[in-house]
Amino acid sequence: MSAQPAWLGTLLVAAAGLVHAMQALAQGTAPPVRTVPDTIAERVRTCTACHGKEGRATNQGYFPRIAGKPAGYLYNQLVNFREGRRTNAAMTYLVDQLSDDYLMEIAEYFASLDLPYPPPQTTGAPAQVMKLGEALATKGDPARNIPACRACHGEKLTGVSPAFPGLVGLPRDYLTSQFGGWRTGKRKAAAPDCMAQIAVNLSSEEISSVATWLSAQAVPADSHPAPALAQHLPVPCGSGLQQP
């Protein structure tokens, strides 16, 4: 006799459940009602459909990790989607009717999650690509008014509270797509939009290199955002000034 297909077992279980429910109704008793807790963790399950379980995401694709990001940054991005500075039909639909207070509750929930990161996505990248990416991320190019990524996103590139996100642990494709959004005006932030100006000053090769280098970095053991910048912002930046 051949083995029973797995799908057949699933179908039989579902059928048995349906029969049980019909028998309960016939006897005048309703099946037990499933109670869903009214918690923020339950209410943000829509977010985790794209951003992964508990918002941790993976090291692949276009969906960024939102767990552990600074609450001010997450709040600002939700507001940007709601007010049209960022364009994503699904995100805009989800937040269009939500109040500032509720957006902050969502942001604070995901910011409070302290979850492990996956291993770096990128391995074996060409040495010249890694060299250029590291130089831009750690030193910038002062001659062209391009600050180092570390100057705003923290010495360890894990972000700075309240409003600068971490850059390590993100997929390369996501990083390059965000640079592309700033260059084309599809992604905007509160004025002065420092990242838009930086993005247009970078070549496609430089963007690819810095995204490759960032996606190859292991997230440090202490992945929390720094509590404050070690120095003043190198360029005027509305994201750092936009407060919840």
In this predicted structure, the answer to whether residue 24 has a pLDDT above a threshold of 90 is: no
pLDDT at 240: 67
pLDDT, greater one: 54 or 195:
195
pLDDT at 230: 78
DSSP for residue 120:
P
pLDDT at 11: 52
The band of 147, judged by pLDDT with boundaries at 50, 70 and 90, is very high
**Max mean pLDDT range (18-22, 38-42, 124-128):** 124-128
What is the SS3 assignment for 199? helix
pLDDT in tens, 169-227: 999 999 999 999 999 999 998 889 999 999 999 999 999 999 999 999 999 999 999 99
In this predicted structure, the answer to whether residue 155 has a pLDDT above a threshold of 70 is: yes
Weakest mean pLDDT among 98-112, 172-186, 227-241:
227-241
Closest by Cα among 149, 126, 150, 166 to 202: 149
Between CA 187 and CA 181 the distance in angstroms is: 5
pLDDT at 14: 60
pLDDT, greater one: 206 or 21:
206
> Considering the entire predicted model, what is its pTM?
0.81
The band of 10, judged by pLDDT with boundaries at 50, 70 and 90, is low
pLDDT at 63: 86
Helices (H), 44-188: 45-51, 71-83, 89-95, 100-111, 127-138, 149-153, 172-184
Check if the beta carbon of residue 107 is closer than 8 Å to that of residue 74.
Answer: yes
57: left (phi over 0), alpha (psi -120 to 50) or beta: left
CATH of 40-241, one of 1.10.3210.50, 1.10.760.10, 2.30.30.100, 1.10.3720.10: 1.10.760.10
Work out the end-to-end distance of the chain between its first and last CA atoms, rounded to an integer number of angstroms: 66
CA angle 240, 241, 244 (to 5 degrees): 100
Mean per-residue pLDDT over the chain, rounded: 88
Helices (H), the chain: 6-26, 40-43, 45-51, 71-83, 89-95, 100-111, 127-138, 149-153, 172-184, 194-201, 204-215, 238-241
pLDDT at 215: 96
